[in-house]
Amino acid sequence: MDTVFILTVIGTVASLGGAGVSIWQASQSKKAAEEAKRVQAQLINQRKASELAQVQAICKKAQKSMEKYGPGSVPDSLTGVSPGKDAADVQDFLILLKEHRAHFGTKQHNQADEFCDTLTPLLDSFAQARSNESLRENGKLIVIHLGTFAAAIKKQIESKREKVF
């Protein structure tokens, strides 16, 4: 056997072995990249769920502030309430909701925008109310709308938590 032939065989075997290792490493790299994307998506989803939980907490605070004006209230029971503070709690919720509006759809005017458009005039009327009866009527509508939207927030949070990657 000639040394050139032996060197050629050894070189060919080494090349094939190197090619096999390269293919295996490429496969491992692809798996690692897919895992990294999955973890990234999971982290993003977790962040979104956390942001929505913050929106939900402020919504509950606004609901709690407005409960005294709800359907079970009577005008006489509103003596000594602080409508300005209660309206500020609802306003804080609306501001936070606008900041996180992207969680409620990608349309130009989504569910969060529609809710803010509905609640803002009610909140204005509530803040300008001069009688307990007017406070009660506007407050009752605000409580009902907050309760309805709280369900939408909960649905969004559950959809984020149920997403499996």
Tell me what pLDDT residue 90 has.
95
- pTM value is 0.74
| Contact status, residue 113 vs residue 142, Cβ threshold 8 Å | no
Helices and strands counted in the chain (H then E)? 4, 0
Q: Is 163 helix (H, G, I), strand (E, B) or coil?
A: coil
Tell me what pLDDT residue 132 has.
83
Q: List the one residue out of 69, 77, 90 whose CA is nearest residue 137.
A: 69
Tell me what pLDDT residue 105 has.
82
CA angle 63, 65, 67 (to 5 degrees): 65
What is the per-residue pLDDT across 123-148, written as a single tens digit (0 to 9) for each? 999 999 888 888 889 999 999 999 99
What is the per-residue pLDDT across 70-99, written as a single tens digit (0 to 9) for each? 777 776 676 777 888 999 999 999 999 999
Cα 28 to Cα 32: distance, rounded to the nearest angstrom: 6
CA angle 79, 127, 155 (to 5 degrees): 100
